[in-house]
């Protein structure tokens, strides 16, 4: 599997197939269940210079997993705990103490047109 313009793709011989995958839409409760995290303890994330960012982060040192949510989305979720248009992006990052799994909770907008 290789990524082109952030779209999953699969190379078969000399042909490139672009796979358009529909995102999995969830609530925060479903995301926490999937990650086996009963409660997200969020703190303001800092940048490399130590300045506060617009992101909140939950960190589990035992499993080396981080869950990040933008502060605007945190406010949306607090106002509507059943918000069901959330998705989860996953990547492996390298930190000072080695690799860790970084999850990002995002809000999906419905398509303007579906054909």
Where in the chain are the domains? Answer: 23-107
pLDDT for residue 95: 87
Residue 11 has pLDDT above 70, yes or no: no
pTM of the predicted model as reported, rounded to 2 decimal places: 0.74
Under 8 Å CB-to-CB from 27, ≥6 apart: which residues? 82, 83, 84, 86
Give per-residue pLDDT as tens, 29-87.
999 999 999 999 999 999 989 999 999 999 999 999 999 999 999 999 999 999 999 99
Residue 22 has pLDDT above 60, yes or no: no
3-state secondary structure 50-99: CCEEEEEEEEECCCCEEEEEEHHHHHHHHHCCCCCCEEEEEEEEEECCEE
pLDDT for residue 5: 39
Residue 91 has pLDDT above 50, yes or no: yes
């Amino acid at each position: 599997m290789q990524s082109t313009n952030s779209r999953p793709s699969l190379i078969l011989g000399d042909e490139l197939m672009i796979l358009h995958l529909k995102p999995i839409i969830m609530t925060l409760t479903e995301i926490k269940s999937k990650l086996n995290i009963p409660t997200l303890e969020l703190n303001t994330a800092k940048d490399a210079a130590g300045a506060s960012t617009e992101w909140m982060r939950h960190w589990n040192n035992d499993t080396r997993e981080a869950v990040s949510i933008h502060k605007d989305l945190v406010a949306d979720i607090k106002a509507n705990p059943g918000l069901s248009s959330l998705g989860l992006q996953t990547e492996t990052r390298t930190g000072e103490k080695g690799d860790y799994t970084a999850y990002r909770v995002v809000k999906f907008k419905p398509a303007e047109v579906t054909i």
